[in-house]
Amino acid sequence: MKNLFAWVLAIGFIITGSQVSAQKKKIYDPHKNGIKQLSEAVTLAKAGKQHVLVMVGGNWCSWCLRFDKFVKFNHELDSIIEKDYELVHLNYSPENKNYEALEKLGFPQRFGFPVFVVLDGNGKRLHTQNSAYLESGRSYDKEKVKQFLLHWRPEALKPENYKK
């Protein structure tokens, strides 16, 4: 019985430890050059007939981490991003404010964090989204996030989808 209790206790510590380390996962890298990140993402997006979804924020931003987790644990939203976008986590922090990249994006940080910028496959800025409009309570609203992603995907902007 003591051995069984010890095994259950050990497994509990392992599970708790892995959950804590998963919560501390860093999604933003302050050492990355934002201009280079954008350039690489635009190249990939163009080749894949996608758009670029730039999520500006930092590991210090609870809403940034919350959004990342929200979409990753929602299969439908994660699938839309995977299919239609090249996702870039553009760091903004005291170590690296990525000023040149943010200047190129039209200074989206004025909306707070996270803020989303959609670029086409040529790097042209199509839309800047204040994340406050995607929130609901202490989380994000699945339908609002879904509609944002669908309204700015490449398919939504094809002229042939609209009749005169």
* 30-57 tens-digit pLDDT: 999 999 999 999 999 999 999 999 999 9
Both tokens of 44, joined, read 């990939």
Full-model pTM: 0.85
Contact in structure between 132 and 80 (CB atoms under 8 Å): no
CATH code where residue 112 lies: 3.40.30.10
Residue 94 · residue 58 · CB < 8 Å? no
Query: 61 in a domain, yes or no?
Result: yes
In this structure, the dihedral spanned by the alpha carbons of residues 108, 134, 156 and 49, taken in order and rounded to 10 degrees, is: 60
Give the burial string for 122-151 (b: 16+ CB within 10 Å, else e).
eeeeeebbebeebbeeeebeeeebbebbee
Does 76 fall in a domain? yes
Asked whether residue 95 carries a pLDDT value surpassing 90, the answer given is yes
Residue 124: domain span: 34-154
